[in-house]
């Protein structure tokens, strides 16, 4: 299997975890960053790959892909906002639609054969084929539609992985386990919703394995033009149950005030369950072991 890849979003939690695993497996990497990107999460592999700083133009993106000449592109870069403000419209469109479209144009111009994209289960409110939870989810759908245009009008073959909630060691995002660890440490009460929503949590090592399994499908010629797969644990658990397990594993009580905080607008109470399973992949790390690891 060829092992020369271009990765966007490698400075984030999932992207950096993927890049580190690929370096260990002998891949040659080109990483696309932006002007204000922090390299903290990939500090240990910076000298093992080539870093390209994108200046925001399509021409520059075309030059980056031309110089990299990758066998495959992993597109993980995005801006996540659960609820946007008016001032955040431009950054959302720039990050989630414009940047990706520039990348696709560069891929088409340089005849890169394979791409792995990232979708979100937030595109499927109330388990519908498409109903965006928020503007972020709508921008992911918009890019997905643009991606389908490029796959239909060029030789590009694509796998889009729909991700659910991810977690693991070194996650600096203000996600659930970071909040629980901080609350257990400070014992400062934390307001929570009633906690009835189900969470589909997938450990980071399993998520990384899903990206590599998708790449294997592409290299082995098992993708016709475009395929979409769900990277799901298939075992959603209520927020209250997750907290109970966290307290059991860590031996620490979290002073949570259940019911003090309202659910978000369009809160997902039951995760999307209609996605196709990724061939050759399954979750190996259960939630109890995952919590122990973090």
Question: What CATH number did the domain enclosing 225 receive?
Answer: 3.40.50.720
Q: Which of 92, 221, 68, 203 is nearest to 159 (CA)?
A: 221
The boundaries of the domain holding residue 195 are: 168-200+235-270+284-293
| 34, 123: one domain | yes
Residues 13 and 131 in one domain: yes
Beta bridge partners of 118: 161
**Whether residue 75 is found in the same domain as residue 185:** no
Our measurement of the distance from residue 282's CA atom to the centroid of its chain's CA atoms, rounded to an integer in Å, reads 17
Average pLDDT, the chain: 97
87 and 208 both lie in a single domain: yes
Angle at 270 between CA 269 and CA 273, to 5 degrees: 160
Q: Does one domain contain both 189 and 225?
A: no
pLDDT digits (tens, 9 = 90+) for 74-102: 999 999 999 999 999 999 999 999 999 99
Share of the chain above pLDDT 70, in %: 100
Residues 177, 78, single domain; the answer is no
The answer to whether residue 108 sits within a structural domain is yes
How confident is the model over 137-153, as a mean pLDDT?
A: 98
Question: Residues 42, 116: one domain?
Answer: yes
191 in any annotated domain? yes
Closest residue by Cα to residue 140 from 231, 75, 217: 75
Q: Mean pLDDT throughout 231-252?
A: 97
Question: Per-residue confidence at 103, pLDDT binned at 50, 70, 90?
Answer: very high
pLDDT above 90 (res 31): yes
Residues in the chain: 294
Q: What is the pLDDT of residues 166-185, one digit of tens each?
A: 999 999 899 999 999 999 99
Residue 24 lies in a domain: yes
Determine, yes or no, domain membership for 276.
Answer: no
Q: Taking the model in full, what pTM does it have? A: 0.96
Instruction: Please tell me whether residues 111 and 127 are part of one structural domain.
Output: yes
- What's the structural domain count of the chain? 2
User: Is the per-residue pLDDT at 263 higher than 90?
Assistant: yes
Residue 132 domain flag: yes
Residues 115 and 187 in one domain: no
Place of tokens 């450990």: 203
- Identify whether residues 152 and 212 lie together within a single domain: yes
Please tell me whether residues 183 and 99 are part of one structural domain. no
Q: How many Å apart are CA 66 and CA 186, to the nearest integer?
A: 50
Specify whether 256 is located in the same domain as 116: no
Residue 279 falls inside a structural domain: no
């Amino acid at each position: 299997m060829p092992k020369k890849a271009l990765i966007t979003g490698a400075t984030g939690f999932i992207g950096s975890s993927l890049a580190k695993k690929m370096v260990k497996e002998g891949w040659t990497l080109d990483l696309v960053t932006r002007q204000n990107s922090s390299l903290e999460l990939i500090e240990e592999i910076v000298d093992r790959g080539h870093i390209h700083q994108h200046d925001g133009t399509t021409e520059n993106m075309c030059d980056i892909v031309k110089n990299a000449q990758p066998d495959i592109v992993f597109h993980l870069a995005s801006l996540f906002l659960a609820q946007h403000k008016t001032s955040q419209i431009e950054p959302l469109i720039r990050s989630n639609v414009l940047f990706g479209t520039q990348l696709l144009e560069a891929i088409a111009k340089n005849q890169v054969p394979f791409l792995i994209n990232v979708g979100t289960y937030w595109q499927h409110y109330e388990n519908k084929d498409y109903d965006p939870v928020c503007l972020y989810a709508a921008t992911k759908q918009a890019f997905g539609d643009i991606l389908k245009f490029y796959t239909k009008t060029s030789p590009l073959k694509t796998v889009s992985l729909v991700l659910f909630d991810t977690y693991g060691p070194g996650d600096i995002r203000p996600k659930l386990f970071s909040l629980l660890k901080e609350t257990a440490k400070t014992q400062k009460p934390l307001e929570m919703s009633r906690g009835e929503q189900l969470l589909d949590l997938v450990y980071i090592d399993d998520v990384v394995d899903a990206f590599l399994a998708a790449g294997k499908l592409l290299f082995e010629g098992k993708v016709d033009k475009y395929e979409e797969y769900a990277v799901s644990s298939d075992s959603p658990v209520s927020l209250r149950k997750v907290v109970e397990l966290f307290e059991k594993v860590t031996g620490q009580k979290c002073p949570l005030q259940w019911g003090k905080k309202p659910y978000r607008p369009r809160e997902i109470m039951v995760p999307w369950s209609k996605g196709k399973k990724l061939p050759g992949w399954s979750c190996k790390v259960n939630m109890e072991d995952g919590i122990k690891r973090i």
